[in-house]
Amino acid sequence: MLDSISFAQRQRLAYIDFCLLFKGAIYRQDLINRFEVGLSAGSRDFNLYKDLAPDNLSYDSSGKRYYQTAQFKPLFEHDAQRTLTKLANDISDGFDAIGDMHFPVEAPSSLNIPDIFIVAKLVQAILNNKAVSVIYTSLTSGSNARELVPHSIVDNGLRWHVRAFDRKSNSFRDFVLTRISKVTIKATPDSQERGDQDTEWHRMLPLQLVPHPKNVSFPTAIEMDYGMENSQLLINVRAAMAGYLLRRWNVDCTERATLKGAEYQLWLQNRFTLNNVENLAIAPGYKS
């Protein structure tokens, strides 16, 4: 039946499906505002969606909101990699599910693509300020139940992870999405567990990157690659993300630019900015 529906209406149905999957709920006004349709057209879209997937949503008349049901199964297939990228850039449209335009551009493969339903549950928890119970498989302790309070989904350049308060260690940590096998949404967390208490996340570090003084023969090429001004690139990065960026860009973090190899084209000139930053074991050459 979906094939007989106009492309414009399929877009709107995919948006309803997307919001139910990732937000857990949707107002009729959300659809009206997003597509600039009238009230009657929006009502028809929700009625059609309910005809196609009657077990996917329930209506709360007091809040005038449609909620995802426990029996929810997406009406459309949402591409995990493209959806994650759109979520990271705050583009919530669900259009990938109906085959929007593809371009001849390739990106390097990630290690693995996270389960879209795991991501959806975590996003729901973040948006609704909830804690979660997960089954997490770590390198040191194997598979165990953990209670987390997630606040952000992050692409570190190699894989996706969730930044969350971990009740086991009583600290904010990173958890790789592909190592999470089950998510159950729990109650509202305590105030000290919420994202606004994550100091490493909110602390911004100024990084001063310059062409490597020993490994690069023609520094102008590196200046052009990174859009440098006055032979340097000044960027601000979250303290919690600094190690990932420095590793991804192969930035030499030694005190005197002593790392050798063609892969080290940048040097961190203001190395002192990393003082008292956690998660720097992966920063190339850094020693506290």
Question: Is residue 106 assigned to a domain?
Answer: no
**Cα gap 64→90, rounded to integer Å:** 25
- What per-residue confidence (pLDDT) applies to 101? 47
Q: For residue 234, what are its two tokens? A: 């000044």
Same domain, 223 and 176: no
Whether residue 162 lies inside any domain: the answer is: yes
Going 48 to 53 to 57 to 59, the CA torsion angle's sign is positive
Q: Rounded to an integer, what distance in angstroms lies between the CA atom of residue 247 and that of residue 249?
A: 5
**108 is a domain residue:** no
DSSP element (H, E) containing 141: none
* pLDDT by position in tens, the chain (length 288): 777 889 889 999 999 999 999 999 999 999 999 898 999 999 999 999 999 999 999 999 988 899 999 999 999 988 777 778 777 766 666 666 665 545 455 555 566 788 989 999 999 999 999 999 999 999 888 999 999 999 999 888 788 899 999 999 999 999 999 999 999 999 999 999 999 999 999 999 999 999 999 999 999 999 999 999 999 999 999 999 999 999 999 999 999 999 999 999 999 999 999 999 988 999 999 997
Which one of 174, 197, 220 terminates a domain? 197
Q: What is the 3-state secondary structure (H, E, C) of 53-122?
A: CCCCEEEECCCCEEEECCCCCCCCCCCHHHHHHHHHCCCCCCHHHHCCCCCCCCCCCCCCCCCHHHHHHH
d(Cα 149, Cα 169) in Å, to the nearest integer? 12
Q: What is the extent of the structural domain holding 253?
A: 203-274
Q: Point out the domain boundary residue: 181, 197, 213.
A: 197
Q: How many angstroms separate the CA atoms of 221 and 200, rounded? A: 33
- Measured CA to CA, the distance from residue 78 to residue 224 in angstroms comes to 37
Q: Which of 64, 98, 132 is the last residue of a domain?
A: 98
